[in-house]
Structure 1
Amino acid sequence: MGKSKTTKFKRPQFNSVGLPVTVVKEGDGEEEEHGDDSCPAAELLEKLQSPSADVREFACASISRVVQQSQTIPGFLQRDAVRRLGPMLLDRSLAVRETATGALRNLSACGGQEVCEDMVKHDIMTPLTALLRECCAGFESAIVSMKDQSNAVEDVANEAVHLLWNLCESSSQALSVFNKSGLLDVVVQCLEKHPHNLELAISAAHCLHTVTEDNPELLCSMNTAVLGALENVLLSSQPGVTQTLLRTLAAGTLWNMKSSLPAARQAETVNAVVATLSQCLDLDAGMLIPELRQAEELRHRNAPAVSDIEGQAPEELAEEEMIEEEEAPKQKRNGKAAKVDNDFSDLLPRGKEELREATALLTAQQTSLEIIVNMCCSDDPSDDEWEEESSSDESDMGPDGLCDGVSNLMSPLCLSAEVHGALINHSIPQKVLKKTEFPKKETVNLCHQNPSWRGLIKKMERVQSRALTCLHSILSTMDAESLGGATALQEAAQHLSSMVFGAPEIPKDEEFLEAVISAMRSLLQMIASKNIPQCMTPQQLMSLSETATRCDVVSVRVNAVAILGITGSTLAKEKGTAETLQMIGNALLQVATKDPELVVNGEALDALFDVFADGEEAETAAKNISLLPALKALQPVFKTKVPKINSSLLICVLDNFSIFFQLCFFFFFLPWKYTKHLYFFLISPLHCVNSPLNNNSFFFPLPDS
């Protein structure tokens, strides 16, 4: 069967797909549809030239609001908004600087990758870099006249760092400028403000977590000052959930920097990173969120509603500004918008401290789980592993996002002794399993009751999905003994079974289904390899597979048929299972014949060979479903599909195909006269092109026709 590999999370892609907010791009007729009279861009951009700082500030704040409606963004871009807003970053008024940076930040967040790249193309990095340097130079000279009063310079810096973060996560050119302009030290200065300006420090930590991932050029410039600043954050003892988020981001950044750490400190740093993640996962969102909601209600009862903006009470303002999952981003103070992935932990309006804490908690736990997933990904494969994995590089895969689907087919992963020991010593597998539980019904109902808190429901569900993906990673990289042995594995299987089959019908949410079925596949593989009795009935697994094979996500379908193969191969060793094997065989033949994706067809064939490889029950079932003619009938299916697919995808698929066709030749009861046709039509096209598979040693010569 295909090997299992976890998908590495890349910051800030929390949701494993692209950006949920996209720019509405119309054709050339958009100008006519949204003529100058209906588009506010022209008037607002004209006001940027006003001699009055108040007018310029008003214009920037208005642009911040308007661009959150993504259909308005093309109108601003057509009028050269980036070039006209750029000079505002260095305006003599700090208020204009802050609102102008907020407008560009919203433009980058709501416009997505293409808009970010366009902003960088229009040289927004030059004034942004200058602004950040001026802000950091002004940190020491800025005077705060009142205790707890926000520092205006640091407010501007917070907007600027957030804009920088948006650009660097979406544009490789922006990241290159970051590396060459020495902005690392500037962002670290912002991080060091954490004792008294947590908001700025968290923005800086998010930025650092993003720019240090897969960025060897930047890692070469790391120094002891950067490492010291991160360790100070990691080891800080400030209480509070928001501080937990800050420490989690610092832990993720240190993990990204692991190759730059002195050898003598690597084990110590890994242990500190895992300890931080463990402490984060210890927090119980199901208990803390109701407490925070109750605290908010109590605060509002004890204090009169104070107008923040033109007579609006904070609660009313927050409900207007709060983003919900199903809506486009709404405005917050100074026109700040939520990020496109709806991760708005530091973007909530002032006066919503409890909601900010709750969101920070869920963001921290989601980030912790993603870091653990990345820790379980082998970044330094051996030579043998590299040959197997190079053909399936997730960044080079073919169309339709198949990289996510096929990443689960590759070679097993391995953990270093330091990482393995740290994960076990801090009980990470047990804590991850705990986080896979459904959000508490009482907590979900509480969030449903208030529009401002409703967006937390999706974040709780995402934490659960990340935990399931993390469980899959752990199962793929650890042995059964490290995970507690047969009893612990059976309990985990029962837990996953109750999650999937406990409801009246199997959940159809794609993100959840993708995560739970990958975890289930890894767990069943381990259970089968140890001959541990399974707790899920074949009928349940058939029901799951039926739901999964209707899912649009390729990896879900791949894992579904793999689970059928695992179950069938186990049942084939038992007596009286022929009828069940027939049911599984028919299901796999349907997938092998009808699924539109070759990688799913291949996994189905792989599963068929596993199920019917040996045994009297398997032989009886194979005859009853006419397996020989059915396999022969697949010849034209693959003959038509192979020439049409992307060559890199074909190589990836054949990493698996080559193995099971040889197994077929050596172990399967089908005569070679049948299987050679399938083999010929799958492999022969590769020998007609310049393919790296031509010299692979595991391919035996093509059969004579």
Structure 2
Amino acid sequence: MGKAKKPKTHKNKLNPTGLVEMNALLDQELANGKSDSPIQAIVDQLQSSSVEDKICGLQTLATICQTNVNIAAVVESDIVRIAASLLVDPDKSVRHATAGAFRNLSVQSVEICEYMVDQDVLTPLMALLNKYTLSAGNWKPTFDRNMQDQMDEKSDTFLQAVSLLWNLCESTSVALDSFNQSHLLESFVTYIDFKVYGKEIAVAVAQCLLVISEDNVSSWRILSNYGNEIASLLPLEGDSSNVLLRTVAAGIIANVPALAATYGRQLFLALSKTLEINHRSALGSLTSSLPLVSRKDVVELEVADETQMEQESAEQSFQRRRRADMPSEIELDIKNVGWLLQAQRISAEILTNICSTEEEEWQEDMDEENLSEAESVHDYDTNGANDSLQNTDKLPVEILEAIKSLGFVEKLWQKAQPIAENVRQILEENDKSILKRVDNLRASAMLCLHNLCNNISTDDLGGAETVYQVWLELGQQVFQGQQNAKLLEASTSLMRATLEHLRKSPELFKQMTENDLQLMLSGVTGCQHPEIRANWLRMLGILGCLLSEPLIKIIIDFVLTSCLKEQDIWTISEAMDSMMDIFAENDWNQIVHELGMVAKCKELDRIMKAKVKQSKRELNERYPAVCTVRTNLSRFCKYLEGEMKKFVPNMEA
């Protein structure tokens, strides 16, 4: 049914620094009777003439946006629209707190970002960023060597604002269009000079440019003039910030066709260096320290006297907040490991996009209303169904050569492996954010391998025996325990792609038993996610072309029964498309007779016809493919009917 859709290069977002826990202050407001709701208490503070009140309200807003209940309350109020104007408040500390609060809010979901755009956050945000770009020649960050090189407040405000823009542009095209019209891009490129602006700003700006440059032709015209500046980051070596900056620079180059053509070899070398870093060693070192956090690394919060707070200057207030927010040594280690995992995930996603072919574009261009059976499919012919598509490479020679010479398949397979159980357990108990990044890296690596399986030959994957071993290992991992849906979908997608390469190697499956097959059947039965069910059912269809007749009968019976109960039209489509392949080289008339296939297939044809009409909008680009399967199914039914009229049942079977 075609390749997987190219995933966008998504990011893991770090929580901003500079925000302190303020729930206690909210409770105090309510206890004093100053307001009848937490949100109203924040609004009152934001509308106060006192700078400290505004900052307190903004810090509270940043903190309460950690649960869905509070998010709902925020959305139902006008608090975002009210706070937006504070992005250009005359007081720099208020601007800083506002940018940080909005950044915290923007990491919650795409829907929240869309809501923020609807509340006109973009207008003051662009005005704030323009202040920096207009004074680019005069503005340089300063770093406090006595406070872990933390940057000055004005620079940290820029960092928060860029991160906010990055999140909004990734989530909504309105933000991207606004950025395109802002003329900020040329200035932004200058901020990736980490020697001047520091690693934090360079990384944030680079990741913003990575999002902005994806499928954005207007950005390409500008970025293509800065190839040397961006490519200068590709040779970076050293700590995780360098690794992340190098990787994101490679992603920007990959997004811009003119740069990709010029710096292709350097791009692949940079991605290779990122993927060859042993993330398991980094995780092992981290988890050896994490259990000690609760006993040795708990930070004691400084409690400031209220009178003292009223008397301190704005700069003293900022310094106090900075001291409170200084990360501990273990928090810095967590951040560095997180950046490494993020860089490796981005590398996998860049390769996924590079190794995606565009052969399915015909589907999107077809006139859905005028799709006719004559135009969309060939007459059903069991001798012409789905020959193996894995005999040749589909990628340009230079890309294929880079993949082979730099060992990307092996490196990605290493990233796809589960981490040690004891390491996972420690992360589960101490830092789930790192565990989430590990899972995201594994999923991205598997999806990249899935794309490679769809686009390079079996021989270039290491041969049928190697591919078979990968399929077995993936199956063992899938059935060893409960996994999250994202990982399970990636795993089964890769299993399905590897199995496509084994269509011509039935000898590898001679040892497969009915018990082995039942594991896969239980995978379908117990699965709540239609995309994953579709992967399982398609794999069963492929196995039906490889196994012995008794197992084939079990597969056909199960697929038909499952599809008659299935609600998702795409899952039915995938399953039936694959099941029809089983009859490509053998009529299996005895099985057709014993299972009453003609009646069941006719019922499925009726179900598909009804569901296609109902689901046209939600199918989107899948609509033509589903129509093709339904039309083929109608012809398959006629074919089976014709075969059964000639067939004499074997009563001893």
User: What band does the TM-score fall into relative to the shorter chain?
Assistant: 0.7 to 0.9
- Asked if structure 2 preserves the Cα contact closer than 8 Å seen for 1:632 and 1:674, the reply is no
Q: Which of 132, 136, 161 pairs up with 2:129?
A: 132
The equivalences for 1:217-296 within 5 A come to 217-225=218-226, 227-237=227-237, 239-257=238-256, 259-261=257-259, 266-294=260-288
Counterpart code for 1:205 = A
Instruction: State the match for 2:590 in structure 1.
Output: 620
Show CA shifts across 1:520-570 (max 9, x none). 111111111355623772532442233124423222222222111111112
Counterpart code for 2:600 = A
- Asked if structure 2 preserves the Cα contact closer than 8 Å seen for 1:528 and 1:570, the reply is yes
User: Structure 1 residue 426: deviation in Å?
Assistant: 0.9
Q: CA 1:267–1:662 in 2, change beyond 3 Å: closer, same or farther?
A: farther
Normalising by structure 1, we get a TM-score of: 0.74
Say whether residues 1:56 and 2:54 are aligned partners.
yes
Instruction: State the match for 2:447 in structure 1.
Output: 469
- Asked if structure 1 preserves the Cα contact closer than 8 Å seen for 2:122 and 2:175, the reply is yes
Instruction: State the match for 1:486 in structure 2.
Output: 464
Counterpart code for 2:266 = A
User: Structure 1 residue 175: deviation in Å?
Assistant: 0.8
C-alpha separation between the residues in 1 aligned to 2:112 and 2:598? 55
Q: Which of 84, 96, 99 pairs up with 2:97?
A: 99
278-287 or 141-150, which deviates more: 141-150
C-alpha separation between the residues in 2 aligned to 1:536 and 1:371? 38
C-alpha separation between the residues in 2 aligned to 1:512 and 1:275? 27
C-alpha separation between the residues in 2 aligned to 1:299 and 1:639? 59
User: Structure 1 residue 164: deviation in Å?
Assistant: 0.8
Counterpart code for 1:481 = D
C-alpha separation between the residues in 2 aligned to 1:427 and 1:145? 40
- Asked if structure 2 preserves the Cα contact closer than 8 Å seen for 1:447 and 1:456, the reply is yes
SS at match of 1:234: coil
- Asked if structure 2 preserves the Cα contact closer than 8 Å seen for 1:377 and 1:414, the reply is no
- Asked if structure 2 preserves the Cα contact closer than 8 Å seen for 1:82 and 1:122, the reply is yes
Q: CA 1:134–1:193 in 2, change beyond 3 Å: closer, same or farther?
A: farther
163-172 or 287-296, which deviates more: 287-296
Say whether residues 1:377 and 2:377 are aligned partners.
no
User: Paired residues, what number?
Assistant: 580
Counterpart code for 1:527 = L
The equivalences for 1:601-680 within 5 A come to 601-615=572-586, 618-638=588-608, 640-646=610-616, 648=620, 650-659=623-632, 670-671=641-642
Instruction: State the match for 2:162 in structure 1.
Output: 161
C-alpha separation between the residues in 1 aligned to 2:637 and 2:321? 66
C-alpha separation between the residues in 1 aligned to 2:72 and 2:137? 36
C-alpha separation between the residues in 1 aligned to 2:426 and 2:525? 35
- Asked if structure 1 preserves the Cα contact closer than 8 Å seen for 2:55 and 2:97, the reply is yes
Q: CA 1:143–1:107 in 2, change beyond 3 Å: closer, same or farther?
A: closer
Counterpart code for 2:233 = V
SS at match of 2:357: coil
Q: CA 1:80–1:445 in 2, change beyond 3 Å: closer, same or farther?
A: closer
Cα root mean square deviation, aligned: 3.6
Q: CA 1:435–1:83 in 2, change beyond 3 Å: closer, same or farther?
A: closer
Q: CA 1:348–1:490 in 2, change beyond 3 Å: closer, same or farther?
A: farther
- Asked if structure 1 preserves the Cα contact closer than 8 Å seen for 2:612 and 2:626, the reply is no
SS at match of 1:221: helix
Percent sequence identity is: 25
The answer for unaligned runs of 5 or more in structure 2 is 14-32, 305-319, 369-388, 647-653
Q: Which has the higher contact order (CA 8 A, sep 6+)?
A: 1
The equivalences for 1:422-461 within 5 A come to 422-449=402-429, 451=430, 453-461=431-439
- Asked if structure 1 preserves the Cα contact closer than 8 Å seen for 2:35 and 2:41, the reply is no
C-alpha separation between the residues in 1 aligned to 2:211 and 2:181? 16
Counterpart code for 1:213 = E
Q: CA 1:448–1:109 in 2, change beyond 3 Å: closer, same or farther?
A: closer
Say whether residues 1:356 and 2:326 are aligned partners.
no
SS at match of 2:176: helix
Show CA shifts across 1:106-144 (max 9, x none). 23333x334433433343222212222323426744574
The answer for unaligned runs of 5 or more in structure 1 is 16-34, 312-332, 336-346, 394-410, 572-576, 676-705
Structure with the larger helix share? 2
User: Structure 1 residue 469: deviation in Å?
Assistant: 1.6
Instruction: State the match for 2:533 in structure 1.
Output: 557
- Asked if structure 1 preserves the Cα contact closer than 8 Å seen for 2:192 and 2:203, the reply is yes
Counterpart code for 1:130 = A
Show CA shifts across 1:304-350 (max 9, x none). 97745439xxxxxxxxxxxxxxxxxxxxx979xxxxxxxxxxx9956
Q: CA 1:133–1:295 in 2, change beyond 3 Å: closer, same or farther?
A: farther
SS at match of 2:7: coil
The equivalences for 1:468-547 within 5 A come to 468-501=446-479, 503=480, 507=482, 509-529=484-504, 533-534=508-509, 537=512, 539=514, 540-547=516-523
